[in-house]
Protein backbone atom coordinates (compact mmCIF):
# COMPACT_ATOMS: atom_id res chain seq x y z
CA UNK A 1 0.00 0.00 0.00
CA UNK A 2 1.36 3.44 -0.94
CA UNK A 3 0.74 6.41 1.30
CA UNK A 4 -0.02 9.39 -0.91
CA UNK A 5 -0.87 11.93 1.78
CA UNK A 6 -0.16 12.07 5.47
CA UNK A 7 -1.26 14.79 7.85
CA UNK A 8 -0.11 15.83 11.31
CA UNK A 9 -2.07 18.33 13.38
CA UNK A 10 -0.59 20.85 15.80
CA UNK A 11 2.55 18.78 16.41
CA UNK A 12 5.52 20.75 15.11
CA UNK A 13 8.16 18.33 16.51
CA UNK A 14 6.32 15.33 15.04
CA UNK A 15 5.96 17.02 11.69
CA UNK A 16 9.67 17.80 11.63
CA UNK A 17 10.84 14.28 12.49
CA UNK A 18 8.70 12.31 10.05
CA UNK A 19 9.98 12.29 6.45
CA UNK A 20 7.50 11.42 3.71
CA UNK A 21 7.30 12.25 0.01
CA UNK A 22 4.12 14.29 0.32
CA UNK A 23 2.96 15.93 3.52
CA UNK A 24 -0.08 18.05 4.39
CA UNK A 25 0.85 19.77 7.64
CA UNK A 26 -2.06 21.08 9.71
CA UNK A 27 -0.91 23.74 12.14
CA UNK A 28 -4.23 24.77 13.62
CA UNK A 29 -6.53 27.76 13.56
CA UNK A 30 -10.19 27.92 12.66
CA UNK A 31 -11.81 30.44 10.38
CA UNK A 32 -15.46 31.43 10.39
CA UNK A 33 -18.23 31.74 7.84
CA UNK A 34 -19.99 35.02 8.59
CA UNK A 35 -23.60 35.17 7.46
CA UNK A 36 -25.20 38.60 7.52
CA UNK A 37 -28.89 39.54 7.78
CA UNK A 38 -29.31 39.98 4.02
CA UNK A 39 -27.43 36.82 2.97
CA UNK A 40 -28.92 34.51 0.35
CA UNK A 41 -29.20 31.38 2.52
CA UNK A 42 -29.88 29.17 -0.51
CA UNK A 43 -26.35 29.96 -1.67
CA UNK A 44 -24.46 30.54 1.59
CA UNK A 45 -25.52 27.49 3.60
CA UNK A 46 -24.44 24.87 1.02
CA UNK A 47 -21.16 26.73 0.47
CA UNK A 48 -20.54 27.00 4.21
CA UNK A 49 -21.25 23.33 4.83
CA UNK A 50 -19.05 22.21 1.93
CA UNK A 51 -16.21 24.40 3.21
CA UNK A 52 -16.42 22.75 6.61
CA UNK A 53 -16.05 19.27 5.14
CA UNK A 54 -12.93 19.68 2.99
CA UNK A 55 -10.08 17.56 4.41
CA UNK A 56 -12.55 16.32 7.04
CA UNK A 57 -12.67 19.86 8.47
CA UNK A 58 -9.05 19.69 9.59
CA UNK A 59 -7.37 22.35 7.41
CA UNK A 60 -6.07 25.39 9.28
CA UNK A 61 -7.89 27.90 7.06
CA UNK A 62 -11.16 26.03 6.65
CA UNK A 63 -14.27 27.92 7.74
CA UNK A 64 -15.40 25.41 10.35
CA UNK A 65 -17.39 27.89 12.42
CA UNK A 66 -20.60 29.63 11.40
CA UNK A 67 -21.39 33.11 12.75
CA UNK A 68 -24.86 34.47 12.14
CA UNK A 69 -27.30 37.01 13.59
CA UNK A 70 -29.30 35.78 16.59
CA UNK A 71 -32.50 36.67 14.74
CA UNK A 72 -31.67 34.07 12.05
CA UNK A 73 -30.18 31.42 14.35
CA UNK A 74 -32.95 28.80 14.25
CA UNK A 75 -33.47 29.01 10.49
CA UNK A 76 -29.74 28.81 9.77
CA UNK A 77 -29.13 25.88 12.14
CA UNK A 78 -32.06 23.97 10.64
CA UNK A 79 -30.86 24.57 7.07
CA UNK A 80 -27.22 23.82 7.86
CA UNK A 81 -28.13 20.55 9.57
CA UNK A 82 -30.30 19.48 6.64
CA UNK A 83 -27.54 20.39 4.19
CA UNK A 84 -24.95 18.33 6.10
CA UNK A 85 -26.88 15.16 5.34
CA UNK A 86 -25.44 15.38 1.79
CA UNK A 87 -22.01 14.42 3.10
CA UNK A 88 -21.20 10.77 3.78
CA UNK A 89 -19.94 9.74 7.21
CA UNK A 90 -18.00 6.76 8.46
CA UNK A 91 -15.14 4.81 6.93
CA UNK A 92 -15.09 4.46 3.16
CA UNK A 93 -14.82 0.89 1.97
CA UNK A 94 -14.09 1.63 -1.69
How many Å apart are CA 51 and CA 88, to the nearest integer? 15
CA 87 to the chain's CA centroid: 12
Contact indicator for 81, 47 with CB cutoff of 8 Å? no
Q: Is 26 among the catalytic positions? A: yes
Alpha-carbon span 74 to 11, nearest angstrom: 37
Annotation marks residue 60 as catalytic: yes
Among candidate residues 2, 60, 78, 83, the one labeled active-site is 60
Crossing angle between the packed helical segments 41-53 and 73-84, to the nearest 10 degrees: 50
Report the catalytic residues.
Answer: 26, 60
Amino acid sequence: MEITLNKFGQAQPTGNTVVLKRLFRELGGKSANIILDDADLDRRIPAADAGMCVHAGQGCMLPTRLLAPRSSHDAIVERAAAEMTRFPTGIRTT
